[in-house]
Amino acid sequence: MAEQSKKLVHRRFPLIIRILLFIYIAIIVFFGGLMIGYGILDNPMEVFRIETWEHIINMTKE
């Protein structure tokens, strides 16, 4: 039986870098979407205030 040589795959970006980059981009897109969505109603930077989220939670509980 002839021994088969295994080919090593050299990626330009390692898998862990791809995963971390995906997570980083997903977080940026998530917060960008929050800012755009809330910016239609009011100041987009207010989406990062805790009082805004407390108000939204209180409105949805009732």
Give the tokens for residue 2. Answer: 């002839």
Give dist(CA 1, CA 60) in Å, integer: 69
Write the CA distances from 11 to 7, 8, 18, 38, integer angstroms. Answer: 12, 9, 10, 40
Give the tokens for residue 46. Answer: 């207010």
For residue 2, pLDDT beyond 70: no
pLDDT tens digit string along 20-48? 999 999 999 999 999 999 888 888 899 89
Q: Higher pLDDT residue, 43 or 10?
A: 43
